[in-house]
Amino acid sequence: MKIKFLVAISLLMSVVSYGQTDSLAMYIDSLENSLTYHEGNVELLNGIGVLTIPDGFKYLDAEQSEYVLTELWGNPQEEDMTLGMLLPVDQGVLSDSSWVFNIEYEEIGYVEDEDASDIDYDDLLEDLQEETEEGNAQREELGYETISLVGWASKPYYDENKKILHWAKELNFGGSEENTLNYNIRILGRKGVLVINAISSMNVLPGVKNDVPEILASFEFSEDNKYENYDPGMDKVAAYTVGGLVAGKVLAKTGIFVGLLKFWKVIAIAVAGFFGTFWKRLKGKE
């Protein structure tokens, strides 16, 4: 990872040194303009529910969102990694200090919430920090950066009436000077959980927290998928409860979306542009 990073840095410096900063900006603009955003209402996969896009936001569909996650941000391809993204209308996926809310659905069954009021989240944080530290040796063996769970950026809160759980972690990847924000929202349904995660750097936490109420109100399960319509004679119960949702592995899918951080975004795009041009020249010579 460090070797790739240093190569990327040198390539970016060569681009800038040759006075191509304006070309890089134009390339970013062309990528942003290639995306088509939506407003209004969106019915999500298999009729699980309807997303009402809040005022001041825009929606990027699943296909384009997957392109952003994999091709622009450099995340590994995974099955069902997104149902789409919500982001402020005045921002793009490559904007400075931007954030998005990535949407997924996990059909894990009916999550029982009887333990929600009994959870000691301070104790849970200590357990998660120890678990994260213990996992770093394996991450390094696999070529990934180490992760440090700095603490709660926003302490877990469960709305028993609306069946919505949300919390935020502050993470540090590889000793970086800039910490990463991972804001988690879980909306409980009859057969699974809608997962919404804000992905960005810590300095945008106030903006993200300001947007959370509108995001929480933007989705509604279809009648057949609502939490209150759980049928104990038919439906599967999830293997873990509300506490288990928060205690889920720090290294879950959303933990790898570090590519949104401003510096790496620009490097990745510069490298992509460089190799695209380089490859065309090689093909031309052939």
β-strand pairing of 193-201 with 180-188: antiparallel
> pLDDT tens digits, residue range 76-92?
788 888 999 999 998 88
What is the percent of the chain where pLDDT is above 70?
78
pLDDT of res. 279: 35
Domains of the chain listed by start with CATH number: 37-262 (3.40.1000)
Instruction: Report the b/e string of 61-80 with b at 16+ CB within 10 A.
Output: bbebbbbbbbebbbbeeeee
Whole-angstrom CA distances from 112 to 136, 191, 239, 243 are 31, 11, 9, 10
Give the H/E segment covering residue 59.
strand 57-60
Please, what are the averages of pLDDT over each run of 10 residues along the chain (286 residues)? 40 49 74 92 91 95 91 80 92 80 94 91 93 88 85 95 94 87 94 90 88 92 97 94 79 39 37 38 38
Would you say the C-alpha torsion 45, 106, 85, 42 has a positive or negative sign? positive
| Helix extents (H) in the chain | 2-17, 21-33, 62-67, 121-141, 205-216, 242-246, 262-285
pLDDT of res. 256: 39
0.85 exceeded by pTM: no
Q: Which pair of structure tokens corresponds to residue 265?
A: 């975004």
pLDDT of res. 204: 87
Alpha-carbon torsion, ordered 33, 181, 247, 188, to 10 deg: -40
> pLDDT tens digits, residue range 15-53?
444 455 567 778 778 888 899 999 999 999 889 999 999
